Structure 1
């Protein structure tokens, strides 16, 4: 009798185990859906969380992947979406509060943007985003601003631009917010008084550069 009961209990346990296993296969645990799998779906998700409105001329191409432990929240979605656009060759331009236009980053130079004036190298007014912004910075020692801009070109992003306003001793830069913060820090280190020896050396370099340009112009205008 005892052997019969033990055998019956064992069969019951095996049956329950098989039944539970089969149920798990029939009803697997649903995978967490990525609301930002594509840029278009991500724009919709950001709009839902933050109330932003986005305009774009064509369907956004590209997708976004993130690790399993990455959680999108209302606090990080704006920064994350900015980076996702940047990784896929896009950027955002603010039209007015809460309304943005999405365009290809290579076309950012043709889009008007308000200028952020940076004073005393304080970058707090520059958003820490991968969107492009326009910054104006007045040098404290504007002896040779064009030489500073020349030194900065290797640090610019692919579609970043930098120009010198010689008459005001200012530098105007357009780049991503993240890179602008870095560039302003570099300018701060370069914006220092120069010695007479360094000044003389710079003047010679500028003179040779000017003579070289004039020589090239003469050669191109007189090919024969």
Structure 2
């Protein structure tokens, strides 16, 4: 298991020939976080389809991923997995926090959160932590402006469709990118994501150690 500040470190180790073992990426820089995407997809499918949803894809499920896309390895892994499972993914954030080259991703990218909610009628809204520790420059004028434009405020949460669930990979900046009203609601999957993360990562380790046998 490797978690590393440098993007691409797990791939370098896996291809190096230095070790004769499988390498599981537990998060590399701002690149990817595959096991987080697995637990998020599992949580989303279970919340939408229940236990009967086992093995089902996410065809047509509409997901908004909102916030600091630029620095989020969670967003990158979720984009590829959710799109592979058939979900329609829309990325929402300020222009300064959307990566270059996003045109090649299987997503729609927009800047207006309220318009995105109205246009997509989302089944799930996944809020991302603003990673200020990775920001050497000012990517937005103020926390107040960010929260007003891209935060899941109480008013914005109450305006969501009743069926829309709220996701967050944690840790959360309460009152900044997400209001406690949204984070603690019955429509929030935050605690489920934490619990499902244990099971999902146990499964990844089991399949790796068992040589892929289910």
Fold agreement, TM-score > 0.5: no
Q: Which has the higher contact order (CA 8 A, sep 6+)?
A: 2
Q: Which has the larger radius of gyration?
A: 1
TM-score of the two chains, using structure 1 as the length reference: 0.22
The structure that is strand-richer by fraction is: 1
